[in-house]
Amino acid sequence: MPGVVFDLDGTLVHSAPDIHAAVNKALAEEGGAPFTLAEITGFIGNGVPVLIQRVLAARGEAPDAHRQAQLQGRFMAHYEADPATLTSVYPGAEAAIRHLRAEGWRIGLCTNKPVGASRQILSLFGLLELFDAIIGGDSLPQRKPDPAPLTATAAALKEEVVLYVGDSEVDAATARAAGLRFALFTEGYRHAPVHELPHHGLFSHHDELPDLLKHLLA
C-alpha cells in the first residue's frame, strides 16, 4: 500500500492563533507592542528560528544570536505551555486520515514545528496514534525546504510510493526537491497564488483528499 506524509501547520491544523498569542506574550514581557494575527501568519512556514528572525526584523532589530536565542526561548516557553487552546483541526482532516489508514495507507508527518510541540498538539487532539512516523523541525539538522526531513519521513513509512500534502511555498519546494507528488491544500498559509506553487493536485477541503490522493497514485 502507499504512504502519505502530511505537513502540520496550515495543512492539518490552523495553529496560527496560538503561535500569534505566544509571540505577543513574549513581546509583552519586554514591553513590546503586539503583532496582528495576519502579520504572524505571514511569518509561519520555515520553523521557529525563522519565525523569530522575522519578528525581530519586522521590529527593525539587527540580527543578534543572543537576542534571537532569548526571544526564541521565551516564545517556546509560552507556546509549549499553551499550544492548542486557539488551534483547530481543519474540518474533515481527521476523518480523511482515518479513512486512508482504514484502506491500508501508512501516514507520516513532516513539519518545521519542533517535534515536541507537534506531538503535544497531535496528542491533545487525539491524533498522535494515527501517525507511523513523525519528523519535526528539530529532528534533523535540516528543515524544509531542504528535502532531508521529507525524505526521512517517507523512508520511515517503508512504502514504495509516498505522496506529500502541504499548504505553503515551503512544502511545494520540499516536495519538488524530494521528488514526491504533492497535493496542495489551498486554505492554508501560502502567500503566492496557487498557480505559482508547483503541485500535482489541489484541494480546498479535506473531504476531497482521499479521492485526490488515489488519483495521484494513478
Ligand X SMILES: O=C(O)COP(=O)(O)O
Q: Which parts are annotated binding residues?
A: 7, 9, 167
Q: How far is the CB of 87 from ligand X (least distance, A)?
A: 12
132 catalytic residue (yes or no):
no
Residue 112 binding result from ligand X, Mg ion, none, given CB thresholds of 5 to 8 Å by partner type? ligand X
DSSP state letters, 156-181: HHT-S-EEEEE-SHHHHHHHHHHT--
Binding-site annotation, residues for Mg(2+) = 7, 9, 167
Residues 6+ apart with CB under 8 A from 190: 10, 167, 168, 169, 184, 197
Q: Which residue is nearest to Mg ion (CB)?
A: 10
Report H helices in 82-130.
93-102, 115-124
Q: Within 168-187, which residues bind Mg ion (CB under 5 A)? A: 168
Radius of gyration of the chain (CA): 17
From 53-61, 78-86, 159-167, 175-183, give the range in contact with Mg ion by CB under 5 A: 159-167
156 forms part of the interface with ligand X (CB under 6 A):
no
Position 113 contacts ligand X (CB under 6 A): yes
Angle between the 65-81 and 16-28 helix axes, to the nearest 10 degrees? 120
Instruction: Give the single-character DSSP code of 46.
Output: S
CB-CB contact of 123 with 129 (8 Å):
no
For residue 125, what is the enclosing H or E element?
A: none
- Total residues contacting Mg ion by CB under 5 A comes to 5
10 vs 74, beta carbon nearer Mg ion: 10
Residue 112's alpha-carbon distances to 1, 14, 169, in angstroms, are 27, 15, 13
Considering only residues 111 through 140, tell me which ones interact with Mg ion, judged by CB under 5 A: none
Report the partner that residue 162 touches, choosing among Mg ion, ligand X, none (CB closer than 5 to 8 A by kind).
Answer: none
Q: Catalogue the active-site residues.
A: 7
Q: Which residues bind Mg ion (CB under 5 A)?
A: 7, 9-10, 167-168
Site for ligand X, rule CB under 6 A: 7-10, 44-47, 51, 111-113, 137, 144
